[in-house]
């Protein structure tokens, strides 16, 4: 009996929420249109515009088939670059118009907030730079930003160390390997070292080890983010025991390290004179501004959540398409060969222009369109190409990501003469917090 009472209460609350959301949205839209002289955007064709069951059903099927992006392209083609639809009582406006995106992210950024992101991300990463708005966000960003300037990321020893661990796991006989899994482990190791001063040691970690448990929990939790983003505040009504358990594993690792580091912080200064103790890491720097252990954990996990997956996804997709375009690989390798086999310096990363073209490419895989000597001149898409967002919230870690990705691609070019595709199927999306290949990056690597 108690179960049905609770169920009826939840249904009643959900109905009230939907009705209330519809009324508030209608009033808000009416005021806005009157004030600015706006018209409604074109409406996506739906069977009904209250719950949006048809969109929810189609969306679930697309997620299962790994074709959500294809569905989005079809909706844009049929309705236009900007349109509205309704899901669970919410009127959602979708746009790919660069002018609209620039308005939201830059010109009128103060008029927009993060919506329900704190309910989606909060259980994993708490309150940090990616889950805050207003003055609180501005302060958190100001504290983090100095950690990602050129001085802090131009020392490449850390990237070489973690790349060498990756190299030890790569077969030297051109047998098939899924690079994507290895890239995600490598970037988790480098990101945890950069942030916490200590790598979690995911590369080569044995099954059931602390590093394996951390990576498994972190991966599971962040893969829930698309669904949690869609639910927003409704996450409060949808318990997820497995997600909560994964969050606890991630928190336990971070808490253990932070607590121990805080205890050791004021120990004998002589111990801190070694190269290992004096290396730069983010936690040590922001601890001058933030002393609360939980807040330190939240800030570190916010950056880890955003920073690790972007680099791994970029590398995975890059090698997925490089393996299918041997002519591009050959040209890229020829440029890298100008380094004569020496590990690159930070200046080398900047000077290799074709490498930058390759990393910029994401659609038709025609890197030449980004080159200065392109027949039509270099592609300049402006707000039509914002891989690191734009405006006040532009990613503070973009140079870190590009540095690690560039370094890894160069070293792979120096060690392998061919990257052969071992997957004949079409590219399918892997949507988590960021985007990667849904089928992995299965290749064969032929050593030099």
Residues 88 and 206 placed together within one structural domain of the fold = no
Averaged pLDDT score across all residues of the chain = 90
Number of domains in the chain: 2
Q: In terms of domains, do 91 and 163 share one?
A: no
pLDDT band at 269 (very low <50, low <70, confident <90, very high): very low
Domain match, 96 and 136 both = no
Mean pLDDT of 53-74: 93
81 and 155 share one domain: no
Q: Are both 311 and 429 inside the same structural domain?
A: yes
pTM for this predicted structure: 0.89
Same domain, 318 and 400: yes
Same domain? For 80 and 186 the reply is no
pLDDT in tens, 306-346: 889 999 999 999 999 999 999 999 999 999 999 999 999 99
Residue 272 predicted with pLDDT over 60: no
Are both 316 and 406 inside the same structural domain?
A: yes
**Is position 25 within any domain?**
no
Three-state secondary structure of the chain: CHHHHHHHHHHHHHHHHHHHHHHHHHHHHHHHHHHHCCCCCCECCCCCCCCCHHHHHHHHHHHHHCCHHHHHHHHHHHHCCEEEEEECCEEEEEECCHHHHHHHHHHCHHHCCCCCHHHHHHHHHCCCCCCCCHHHHHHHHHHHHHHHCHHHHCCCHHHHHHHHHHHHCCCCCCCEEEHHHHHHHHHHHHHHHHHHCCCCCCCCCCCCCHHHHHHHHHHHHHHCHHHHHHHHHHHHHCCCHHHHHHHHHHHHHHHHHHHHHHHHCCCCHHHHHCHHHHCCCHHHHHCCCCCCHHHHHHHHHHHHHHHHHHHHHHHHHHHHHHCCCHHHHHHHHHHHHHHCCCCCCHHHHHHCHHHHHHHHCCCCCCHHHHCCCCCCCCCCCHHHCCCCCCHHHCCCCHHHHHHHHHHHHHHHHHHEEEEEECCCCCCCEEECCCEEECCCCEEEEEEC
**pLDDT tops 60 at residue 374:** yes
For residue 369, being part of any structural domain is answered with yes
What's the CATH number where 419 sits?
1.10.630.10
- Residue 306: give the domain boundaries: 123-268+278-447
Per-residue pLDDT of 210-241, as tens digits, reads 999 999 999 999 989 888 887 777 788 888 99
**2 part of a folded domain:** no
- Is 144 found in the same domain as 54? no
According to the model, what pLDDT value does residue 275 have?
44
Average pLDDT of the residues in 265-287: 68
Q: Are residues 90 and 141 in the same domain?
A: no
Residues 365 and 236 both lie in one domain: yes
């Amino acid at each position: 009996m108690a179960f049905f009472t609770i169920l009826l209460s939840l249904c009643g609350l959900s109905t009230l929420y939907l009705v209330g959301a519809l009324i508030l949205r209608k009033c808000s839209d009416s005021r806005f249109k009157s004030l600015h002289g706006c018209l409604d955007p074109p409406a996506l064709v739906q069977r009904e515009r209250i719950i949006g069951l048809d969109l929810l059903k189609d969306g679930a099927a697309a997620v299962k088939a790994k074709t959500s992006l294809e569905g989005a392209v079809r909706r844009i083609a049929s309705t236009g670059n900007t349109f509205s639809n309704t899901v669970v009582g919410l009127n959602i406006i979708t746009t790919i118009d660069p002018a609209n995106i620039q308005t939201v992210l830059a010109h009128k950024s103060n008029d927009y907030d993060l919506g329900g992101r704190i309910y989606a991300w909060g259980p994993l990463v708490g309150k940090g730079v990616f889950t805050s708005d207003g003055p609180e966000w501005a302060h958190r960003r100001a504290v983090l930003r100095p950690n990602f300037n050129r001085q802090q990321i131009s020392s490449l020893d850390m990237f070489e160390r973690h790349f060498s661990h990756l190299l030890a796991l790569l077969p030297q006989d051109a047998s098939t390997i899924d690079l994507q899994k290895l890239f995600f482990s490598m970037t988790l190791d480098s990101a945890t070292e950069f942030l916490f001063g200590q790598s979690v040691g995911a590369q080569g970690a044995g099954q059931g080890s602390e590093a394996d448990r951390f990576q498994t929990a972190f991966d599971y939790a962040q893969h829930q983010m698309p669904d949690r983003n869609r639910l927003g505040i409704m996450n409060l009504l949808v318990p997820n025991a497995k997600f909560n358990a994964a969050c606890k594993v991630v928190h336990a690792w971070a808490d253990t390290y932070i607590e121990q580091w805080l205890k050791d912080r004021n120990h004998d200064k002589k111990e801190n004179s070694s190269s290992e103790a004096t290396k730069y890491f983010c936690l040590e720097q922001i601890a001058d501004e933030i002393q609360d252990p939980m807040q330190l954990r939240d800030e570190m996990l916010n950056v880890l959540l955003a920073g690790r997956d972007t680099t791994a996804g970029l590398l995975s997709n890059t090698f997925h398409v490089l393996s299918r375009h041997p002519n591009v690989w050959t040209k890229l390798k020829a440029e890298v060969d100008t380094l004569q086999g020496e590990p690159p310096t930070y200046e080398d990363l900047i000077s290799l222009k074709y490498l930058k073209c390759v990393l910029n490419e994401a659609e038709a895989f025609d890197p030449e369109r980004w080159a200065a000597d392109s027949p039509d001149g270099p592609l300049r898409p402006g707000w039509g190409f914002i891989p690191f967002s734009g405006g006040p919230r532009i990613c503070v870690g973009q140079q870190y990501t590009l540095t690690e990705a560039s370094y890894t691609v160069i070293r792979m070019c120096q060690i392998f003469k061919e990257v052969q595709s071992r997957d004949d199927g079409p590219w399918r999306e892997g949507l988590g917090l960021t985007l990667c290949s849904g089928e992995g990056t299965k290749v064969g690597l032929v050593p030099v």
